[in-house]
Structure 1
């Protein structure tokens, strides 16, 4: 074997070694997470290991500071008093809210907080008949007469207005036949992923003094 061939083989071997190192690093960084319950994660945090914990968001436990979302989850089939704190440095989807099922993947730090790198939220779809619901224009036409009174209103979700809970107005409700007639809606509960731009929804709640509709329930028209 001549010197030129030896140099070529050494270069090829070097490339192969580098590729193998990169592949092993990628596989090592994407190993499957250990699935834990909320109680297991709270009692045996396994600090530094990649875990996945599912639970429901504790009522009004969430806050966003400097674009970091913090919240607590509990096991709806376990002890509701056992909570796990979660920290998520990312934008929560519009489905995020009180009691939504949150699937959190990440590593638990020494303080027992799950540093979440991947957050998936799920909420079953709810449907409600809109026969007895008011249109947006009808509701607004009552003025101050309906402030604080529980009513149902129907309309469509205005495009580009959906946000996660805790980010201000949850979405804007538009009149089904006239998109210029709108009503800002506040809601901190869970939304199904079928509540999207243009979806027709039926809301239960009441008008507030500031001209917004404080919803206690959001369902798809069905």
Structure 2
């Protein structure tokens, strides 16, 4: 899913929330990922189990970013959709036989989240926490020998957890900073007829801006 697709999702969702306070947020930041175990089951290239180190390269094109639409049902409780364009590159040498093994456009997640906020808890600062579940939609990029897998797939469930704080800059605009973690359980189909399975966690420190309708 590219930037235009994510924006379209948010613009479609926002009018449906129009009966309450709706907030549209855009964010970016520094995103990383620890190593994960990978399991390859493939009749052509063989079976393999190994651990892969990852790095985020947040500002390399395409950059890490996210879009969020939130409906606040009350002053303290809200829910909505969150699309995150996470990504992971191999950190260090690849397993023998692999020329490409990455999720860089990206390790996308789309989640339904719930939020709790504490309005003006410290002056104008409003802390919040949130979390939710959804799906992983990564761009799978794997090249082994003559077989190249390159495309978007629905690979499994995803989850996210968030803690941050926002500060208003006008009646409608605010800025925020937060920690955001994601988990995705991925089973990807390979062009060779096999599968790649890996569970990946990402950690991000985000800065963003929100607009209230």
More helix by share: 1
Q: TM-score range by the shorter chain?
A: under 0.3
TM-score (structure 1 length as normaliser) = 0.25
TM-score (structure 2 length as normaliser) = 0.26
Q: Larger radius of gyration, structure 1 or 2? A: 1
